[in-house]
Amino acid sequence: MTLSDLLPYLRARKGGVFYSEVSEGTGIPPLRLVRAERTFTVPNLTAEELDRLAAYFDVPVDQLRQAATESRSILTTYLATREKDGRPAHLNLVGGVHVSGMVAWRDRHAVGLRQPDDTCLVVYRSNVEGWQRVEGEAAAGDQQQE
């Protein structure tokens, strides 16, 4: 999960706090928080700022540090490969939930997974912690995350 995906989740988990509240609690200017959350590249928050965010959100600092190094392109590549190859995507979500389905559509914020009953399950990227292949599958572009 990228930092730009993790930060809105953490804000929601803390009751939907606003950037101004996070700023007051961490001393990080609101504009830096907005940029870190809205960037689709690796944000440039300092190690000290990540420490303060970890304390504010009561999460391990390593979780934020790892998220700060992740790129959204890894999940995008996985989804594109699954869609192109006509194979289902298997996503691990926050809270230990696992979902799967054929990629019906995808954009910068979410993916639609076609279910066996022909409904479409919408999964926001900010809820995806990782993904997996089914045992015995392997394909270029797939990167297993667990």
Give the model's pLDDT for residue 2.
Answer: 85
Query: Cα(136)–Cα(145) distance, rounded to whole angstroms?
Result: 16
Structure tokens at 54: 């970890």
Domains, the chain, ordered by start: 3-70 (1.10.260.40), 73-132 (2.30.30.100)
Task: Identify which has the larger pLDDT, 145 or 121.
Answer: 121
What count of residues does the chain have? Answer: 146
pTM higher than the cut 0.75: no
Question: Tokens 């599958």 label which residue?
Answer: 137
The dihedral built from the CA positions of residue 115, 117, 120 and 126, taken in this order, carries a sign that is negative
- In 10 A of CB 66, how many CB atoms? 14
Task: Identify which has the larger pLDDT, 108 or 101.
Answer: 101
The answer to whether residue 135 scores a pLDDT higher than 80 is no
The answer to whether residue 129 scores a pLDDT higher than 90 is no
Query: Cα(100)–Cα(87) distance, rounded to whole angstroms?
Result: 10
